[in-house]
Amino acid sequence: MNLSALTLHEASKRLRSRELSSQELTEAVFQRISEAEEKVQSYLTLCKDSALEQAKRADALLKAGANLNPLLGIPIAVKDNFLTLGIKTTCASKILDDFIPPYDATVVKNIRAAGAVITGKTNLDEFAMGSSTENSAFFPTRNPWDATRVPGGSSGGSAAAVAADECIASLGTDTGGSIRQPAACCGIVGLKPTYGRVSRYGIIAFASSMDQVGPLTKNVEDCALVLQAIAGHDPRDSTSADKFVPTYAAALTSDIKALRLGIPKEYFTSGMQPEVANAVRQAISQLAQHGAIVEEISLPHTEYAVAVYYIVATAEASSNLARYDGMRYGYRAPARDLAESYMLSREAGFGTEVKRRIILGTYVLSAGYYDAYYLKAQKVRALIKRDFDEAFKTCDAIITPTAPTTAFKIGEKIQDPLQMYLSDLCTISVNLAGLPALSLPCGFDSQGLPVGIQMIGKHFDESTILNIAYAYEQSTKWHKQKPKL
């Protein structure tokens, strides 16, 4: 067996029993990268030398029997909007093309402390704005299942790297579906934790009231192990919740008898790919066979979610991206004066989609339009959250498709922003409400492309959705299928 194809918990078990060294595992992953990367293009920066040094240190700890964290010695890729000390962090934008951060993001510190080996920084849609990873300033990432198709976005590089065995697990961010949608497109597991569960300190901001860090992994158990390492309170992040962190792996019992699962009728829309709807409904039937109680529910304000999201998110992006002015760091264009420097630096440094969102956000925040757009969007956001609050009075979790279609062709939607935005139709409401949600594979379409099912939980109840996902995964083999690269 190719060592790079191991799951995290399998690799961890072998490392602890000394059947395998971290250096061997890391070498195998970089060998796989050399074979697959030209086709997939999931990485922006590779860190082979430092990774092998980290693997060497991990082996010393394993030999000493110290720090036997499940992540010790495991090669993990990191999305390129996480600050990494001494490693270039571009956010897939020309405006940060040569930026090297002076410190690590908290989650990067956490996985380093756990002994993980950082393989490199993965590609994304510029500033995490997109659903296909085509908006990267450098190159598009390709789906390992079909190189003519997108891997999803914005964490497309992180998802593709896991699916192609170019790392054992990876980290991404999710503002409107950017972990779950690429996880669905690439046939892997992706979790967006509750807003505040994982520190955002050192993550390059897009929309601060919705951004959240989470794992992308080969199966549910791995997802629980990575979440364990990154969850917890961080005083440096004012939105970080000081809440008890349970042992997530202990929740994986497969017992879902009498759990009440709500199926919102609004998520099975007429425009949904029939094969996606069928696969998800079959998965729901399987959960019922395991003893779960399935009932149809309504989330009536779902139809407004995309509009609300693209007002709130662009407004926050407009504010957050004002800091990229070419003065303190990042790209600076030659200019005759200060005003021209600002204009030319931002003109040359930002891509089309980022400019579109900054302009939209500035518009909805401007005098005369703030009340009509931004304030109204926040009120509807409260109604969307209330829909979930009402549903969770009778449900333990909510089950939906992750995306309305499987992975689409590269270039198919890039000229039509509205069609692209609808790719996140099933995921956006979760971010607006700050809830945890997980995507895992539940089948394939007739083209051999993975279909994802989404499980949405109550605030800070990642344990329940992990266990529901685990129960389903244990009775299927979708997660064991690999793309033939």
As annotated, the active-site residues are 79, 154, 178
| Cα–Cα dist 193/462, whole Å | 7
Give, in order, the Cα–Cα distances in Å from 109 to each of 198, 201, 231, 244. Answer: 12, 11, 12, 20
Residue with tokens 């407009």: 318
CA neighbor of 325 nearest in space, from 346, 347, 351: 346
Give, in order, the Cα–Cα distances in Å from 332 to each of 137, 354, 358. Answer: 16, 17, 19
Give me the amino acid identity at 234. D
| Cα–Cα dist 22/19, whole Å | 10
Element (H, E) at 75: strand 75-79
Peptide bond connecting 463 to the previous residue in cis, omega within 30 degrees of 0: no
Label residues 17-33 b or e (16+ Cβ within 10 Å = b). Answer: eeebbbbbbbbbbbebb
Residue 412: how many other CB atoms lie within 10 Å: 16
DSSP string, 326-390: SSSSS-----SSHHHHHHHHHHHHS-HHHHHHHHHHHHHHSTTTIIIIIIHHHHHHHHHHHHHHH
